[in-house]
Each structure stands twice: as structure tokens, then as C-alpha cells.
Amino acid sequence: MNKTKSLQTALIHTDYTAPEGFAAFPSAIHHASTVLFKDVAAMRSGDWKEKNAYTYGLHGTPTTFTLEARLAEIEDGKHCLLAPSGLSAISMVDFALLKSGDDVLLPDNVYNPNRELGRWLARDFGISARYYDPMIGAGIAQLIQPNTKLIWTEAPGSVTMEVPDLRAICAAAHARGVVVALDNTWSAGLALRGFDLGVDIIMQALTKYQSGGSDVLMGALITRDDGLHERLSMAHMRLGLGVGADDAYLVLRGLPTMKLRFDAHDAAARKVATWLAARPEIHKMLHPAFEDCPGHEIWKRDFSGAGGLFSVLFDARFSEAQTDRFVDSLKLFKIGYSWGGANSLCVPYRIQAMRSHWKEEGTLVRFNIGLEDPDDLIADIEQALGAMV
Ligand SMILES: Cc1ncc(COP(=O)(O)O)c(C=O)c1O
């Protein structure tokens, strides 16, 4: 990251140069499967791993290289690889770093498909996958075995919102030579500097804030370490994880406004959450900026913002049928997964089925606060609470 400009300016002023004789801000969209070489010598000397040589569409085009460079800059990293979804970026890490006989540690609140990936690795690939309390902090040292190769972290967990102590987890992991991967999607790389806390690999689901349009699926892995990047690149190549040029362009198009959107989501979410937290129907406000949220103090120490995603636990006197009715009664909030787009979303979760350890009572409902006027969203929630009883 160029330290002479703020992140907001860096998101707008890029190093992209338009073709000779043509000047415009947007990056060009290059479609290609076959890439042409000027002669056989050039073909033979082309190395797909070199980002300055184009060899085949799957290994990158000027459009995808531009996006990778920009994403690495946002996280203050050095390398970036794109994948066709956030989930495929997650699985790329596992396939790059784990082999039969190895062990991976995942937080108990991990993004559920990542949990399912762990089950698959354990069942069919001879890799042990163990789940730890996301609030374990330095205690993770006790779980690290000689065959532990990778620790996944998520900050915060994207449904139950615990904020982990990344510094403590990374210190314990590095003392034993274990790689730490962070799913940093919640803060889009804007509100949490993962590498500064010691993380080795940052994963982003670009599907959320980077695209901002609810219309793209894409993921990214960002690293500083050349050796790790090389291992990830080999998995990227072997698995054939290319992305489409038009989708890469849509993400590029979203980046200049990303921080403004993120800050607007953040302000609106805190307004809605403040109102909701005072309601008698709500037992706990699981928003990292609120004291109820496990890891709130860590959030204050490590984060500079919060974005639009939070959850609540309804008071246990409300049945699941009632909280379902609440969600069904919302008009502006739509029912659907994901976040980071302009539209507000709401999803009820059955947490017991997703966790090994979950002691809390009351139904959990997750809100993604979009870019609508927060007062309209509050009015919508108020009428849906009225319809619930
Ligand atoms: C925390 C988290 N990580 C990763 C992903 C995966 O992203 P994608 O939907 O692009 O596969 C999601 C998607 O919802 C997510 O919530």
C-alpha cells in the first residue's frame, strides 16, 4: 500500500494505464482462453506463474492481474489469486497446504460450508479436522499437534459474531510453524489489518462488499510470503480456478466506492442495532461494537469499523415459529444469504445444528443492513415485531 495516500484515495487513484492514445478511468476487459505468443521461443520461455507473462486465459489476463494487484494493495499484501467464489478460495487453501495425515483446526463458528469441507477432508482424505472455541485465544497452543499444518480463523464469525484474538492465535501458531488463514470477508479488508496481526493468508469473498452489486461470485487469497503464494498458485493451477473477465470487471467497478459503501452500511447498521438492542424482544445484540458480543474488547483493539452484518438472539420466550413470522413479516428486508449489496437481508439460523458447542438460548436472526434509509428499516422491523406476537 502506498502510505502517502489514504485507502479511500488509493481505491480511486490506481496505477492502471489505458492503451496508448486512449485515456479513461475504467480498466479494459480482456476476454481470452488462448493467449498468443509471438514465436516459439516466447512460448517456451513463458512461465504461467510470472504475473508479467501471459500464457493462457486460466492463468490470468490484464483484467484479472489488475484486480489481483488492487486487492493485494487493499490488504497491504504482496500477492493475490482470484477464485470463482469465496468458497473455492477457501478450498484452494486446504488443497494447497494439507495432505493425508495432516491436521487442520477450524473455529467452531466457521462459515458452514468451510465446516463441511473439514468433514469431507476428514472422511475421504485422511486429514483430521478439529473445531476450536473461537474465543480460545492463546489457549489454541494446547490444541496444536505435530501434524497440525493450518489454522483457520474468521473475524468475526459471520453468523454468531464472536471476535477472535488473532494476535494470540497467530503467535501460538507461529511458535509451532503452523500457517494461519483468515476469512476477512466481514470487514472487506477495510476495518481489519490481518497481516499486521500476524495472519499468513487472507481470504476474501469478493461476492460481498467488493462487488457490492449482489451479482457476482468471486473469491481471493492474499499473501505476503512468496513461498506460501507459490504453494497456493500450484493449487490454483491444478484445480483450474479461473474467473470470468466480465465478473472481474464488475468487482473492479465496485472498488472505488467500496469504502464509502462500507462506512454507510456501518453507520446504518449501528443505528438499527442500537434501536433493536433496546427492544424487550431482544435478548442479546451480537454486533462486535456492542458489549453483548463475545470479543467486543478485541474488536475495539483490532478493528476500525464494522460494516453492515450483525445478528440478534431473540428472548427465549419467543418460539421459532414466532421469529420465523417476524422474518416473514419484514417488507424491506428480503430473505436471502450473503451481504454487501445495497439491499437489506434477514436470515433466521438454527445454530444448534451448525455448532459443536452452543449454550445460548433463543432464536438467532442475522441482519444485513443495506443502503436504504435506516429509519425506514427500523420502521419495517418495528412493524414485523408487532406481527410476531
Ligand atoms: C464468511 C464467509 N466466507 C466465505 C463465503 C463464501 O463466499 P462465496 O459465496 O463467494 O462462495 C461466505 C458466503 O456467504 C461467507 O459468508
In order, the DSSP letters of 99-133 are -TT-EEEEETT--HHHHHHHHHHHHHSS-EEEEE-
What's the pLDDT at 190? 97
Atom of ligand 1 nearest to the CA of 90: 4
What's the pLDDT at 4? 76
What's the pLDDT at 356? 87
Residues 6+ apart with CB under 8 A from 346: 327, 330, 333, 334, 335, 365, 366, 367, 368
**Lowest-pLDDT range of 51-55, 119-123, 294-298:** 51-55
What's the pLDDT at 142? 98
CA of 291 to the centre of ligand 1 (A): 26
What's the pLDDT at 47? 84
Residue nearest to atom 5 of ligand 1 (CA): 86
Inter-residue contact 311 to 357 (CB < 8 Å): no
Provide the total of helices (H) and of strands (E) in the chain, helices listed first: 11, 11
CA of 156 to the centre of ligand 1 (A): 13
Query: Is 217 near ligand 1, meaning CB less than 6 Å away?
Result: yes
Residue nearest to atom 9 of ligand 1 (CA): 86
Determine, yes or no, domain membership for 2: no
- CA gap 90, 203 in Å, rounded: 7
> Do 164 and 99 belong to one domain?
yes
Provide the pLDDT confidence category of residue 3 given band limits of 50, 70 and 90: low
Determine, yes or no, domain membership for 1: no
> Do 182 and 307 belong to one domain?
no
Query: Hey, what's the cell of 53?
Result: 507473462
Mean pLDDT (whole number) for 121-141 = 97
Residues 6+ apart with CB under 8 A from 187: 155, 303, 305, 306, 307
Ligand 1 pocket test: pick from 183, 337, 354, 368 the residue with the most ligand atoms within 8 Å of its Cβ: 183
pLDDT tens-digit readout, 301-345: 999 999 999 999 999 999 999 999 999 999 999 999 999 999 999
What's the pLDDT at 19? 80
> Do 175 and 200 belong to one domain?
yes
Query: Is 254 near ligand 1, meaning CB less than 6 Å away?
Result: no
Query: Hey, what's the cell of 263?
Result: 462506512
Task: Tell me the three state secondary structure of residue 140.
Answer: helix
What's the pLDDT at 272? 98
Query: Is 307 near ligand 1, meaning CB less than 6 Å away?
Result: no
> Do 370 and 334 belong to one domain?
yes
Q: What is the mean pLDDT of the chain?
A: 96
pLDDT tens-digit readout, 251-278: 999 999 999 999 999 999 999 999 999 9
CA of 208 to the centre of ligand 1 (A): 8
What's the pLDDT at 284? 97
Q: What are phi and psi of 320, to 5 degrees?
A: -60, -35
Q: Domain ends where: 188, 218, 253?
A: 253
What's the pLDDT at 152? 98
pLDDT tens-digit readout, 199-232: 999 999 999 999 999 999 999 999 999 999 999 9
pLDDT higher than threshold 80 for residue 1: no
> Do 198 and 337 belong to one domain?
no
Query: Is 85 near ligand 1, meaning CB less than 6 Å away?
Result: yes
- CA gap 104, 147 in Å, rounded: 9
Query: Is 61 near ligand 1, meaning CB less than 6 Å away?
Result: no
For position 65, which CATH number holds?
3.40.640.10
Q: Domain ends where: 201, 231, 253?
A: 253
**Lowest-pLDDT range of 177-181, 256-260, 328-332, 385-389:** 385-389
Q: Domain ends where: 253, 277, 306?
A: 253
Residue nearest to atom 13 of ligand 1 (CA): 338
Ligand 1 pocket test: pick from 214, 338, 354, 368 the residue with the most ligand atoms within 8 Å of its Cβ: 338
> Do 127 and 182 belong to one domain?
yes
The range of the structural domain enclosing residue 346 comes to 258-388
CA of 364 to the centre of ligand 1 (A): 19
